[in-house]
Amino acid sequence: MMHDLNLMVAGPQGSGINFTSDTFAKVMTREGYHVFTNAELFSTIKGDHSYFRVRVCKDMIRSYSERIDILIPLDAKSVILHTKELSKEGVIISEENLSDQRHASIPYREILQAVATKFGKSLAELNVMKNTVALAGASKMIGLDKEKLKKVISENFESKPNIAEMNNAVVDEVYAEFTPTHTFDLEATVYKKRMFINATHAVGMGKVEAGLRFQSYYPITPASDESNYLETVMGKYDFIVEQTEDEIAAINMAIAAANTGLRSATSTSGPGFSLMVEALSYAGMTETPVVIFYYQRAGPATGMPTRHEQGDLRYAISAGHGEFPRVVIAPGDHKEAFYDTIDAFNIAEKYQLPVIVLLDKAMAMSNYTVDPFDLSKVTINRGKLILNETSDYLRYRLTDDGVSPRSVPGVKGALITIAGDEHEEDGHIFTEDADNRVRMMDKRMHKMKFVHEEVPSDTKVKFYGIPTNKKVIVSWGSVKGPILDAMEIVKDVSMLQIRMMEPFPVEEVMKFLKGKRIITVEQNYSGQLADLLREKTGLETTSRIVKFNGRPIAFEEMVEVLSRKKLKEREVLTYA
């Protein structure tokens, strides 16, 4: 009986690897299993080697496994590259004639020829369905009902029913002609309704629920998927998605929209954020509640556009000329991405400042099962927004909490003045008076005191494990997943997830870490969180575990490094 099953589909970009893995994952989700998928794509549209992993288990899983139980290579190169990862009891489902005894021999040509004849097609026309042959073979090995597989295929090709019919005919033929010599007996589960989504979907759903009215973006990997998703649903909801000519235009349009009273955001990655930095400072000076969704990838420069890294933490909390208040939130999974998106808009409007939601490629390109979001937990706070007639209005009025009344163009009695230069309470640039400068700087920066005091603790940090453990892992972002999975095996460590990076939650962190042996785990070269932790609290780490080869951390390598009796000051993970 297998506790978890790991399937990999590998081949040239554009050969159907995405369709194969997603279809299998959806079927297993509907069977009631927890599913986690990880995509590693080469940064070209077609031709280069890529692969998708699908991990299935009756229990919650949050990370991928390096072990492969079923390998579906769609070319010879994939056989060479990935057979070494195949488990002893694993199977290779390949059209190639392999000497490996783990090869499952499926009569690809005969199956496709039979379907081609049935539909009056040539064999060459059906060669693109080789992946469906392998998918059906894997499904039969697991004992899946073929009708459930066919139902998902029909949904995938809803707009092309003839293509769906031919693919389903391939499934029928495989189930009729293929008799597996090896099967997989996966532990049974009880069906529970779950969503199968990635972080871009979770963020998009959060934006809809938060009341997004304007989204701007310029296409960039891996952030574009979020805006593309929003484009598919904006017709059902009252918001606009605008693809701009560049990232400078994207953030300036979002700022302008926010200053008309709309909840607005933009999404980007490292190179795009670099272009947005001047406007970020402008949002800080004008106290504009704009939200930036920042999907990190491997840099610097173009770097590796489709690969993973957490190298932009220090940049996100310090980018921009001059000093101004900002909030930086870093979700660790898809559920947090949804709720943190809503919180980001609330914080931006309540305190009238820019908010950065710091995500990463691993979250953007990993799909997994989550329970439906609880919308009863959602609250909307638009702060001191004035939408009705007012009087004696001063946009930058000095207040006890640093937050001024905020109105929008068209409201009677509210003269809207927005200035990137230093200004007085009414927003006009009358002087560069030194005393006024001090008043306005104090006003803006004073907001951070209230962010510290009023944002709930579990929005800032989350603790996992046994409080009395002497060893505590400190981490952030998507690394949360493999750490929590590893803690199911390695019991003598706990974890503190830091979720709010700016302002840094010093009191909450000290509460959990004082007197502990601290181990940081993050996916960058230098250990940026470890440096930030030392800067803000004075706490030193005993070991920095880092990975920066462009791939996320695997479940097994997390278990292996945490199981060592003694860790070096710097441990570099290299699974790829």
pLDDT reported for residue 430:
67
Q: Which pLDDT band, with edges at 50, 70 and 90, does 47 fall under?
A: low
CB 157 within 8 A of CB 116: no
State mean pLDDT over 190-198: 94
Give, for 173, the enclosing helix (H) or strand (E): helix 161-177
* Model confidence pLDDT, tens digit, residues 409-430: 999 999 888 989 999 999 988 6
pLDDT reported for residue 97:
79
34 HSE (CA, 13 A, CB side)? 13
Q: Is 353 exposed, middle or buried (0-12, 13-18, 19+ CB in 10 A)?
A: buried
Q: How many CB atoms lie within 10 A of CB 318?
A: 11
Q: Which pLDDT band, with edges at 50, 70 and 90, does 16 fall under?
A: confident
pLDDT reported for residue 290:
98
Tell me: pLDDT of 449 over 80. yes
Tell me: pLDDT of 497 over 80. yes
pLDDT reported for residue 399:
97
State mean pLDDT over 30-45: 91
Look up the pTM and report it.
0.96
Query: The tokens 């993973």 sit on which residue?
Result: 308
Tell me: pLDDT of 353 over 90. yes
Task: Sketch out the chain's domains with CATH numbers.
Answer: 4-177 (3.40.920.10), 197-377 (3.40.50.970), 385-454 (no CATH), 460-572 (3.40.50.920)
Tell me the percentage of the chain whose pLDDT exceeds 70.
99
State mean pLDDT over 241-257: 98
Q: Which pLDDT band, with edges at 50, 70 and 90, does 44 fall under?
A: confident
Mean pLDDT of the chain: 96
Distance CA 331, CA 357 (A): 8
Ranges 59-73, 164-178, 424-438, 475-489: which has the least confidence: 424-438
pLDDT reported for residue 15:
79
Q: Which pLDDT band, with edges at 50, 70 and 90, does 440 fall under?
A: very high
Strands (E), 41-156: 49-57, 68-73, 86-93, 103-104
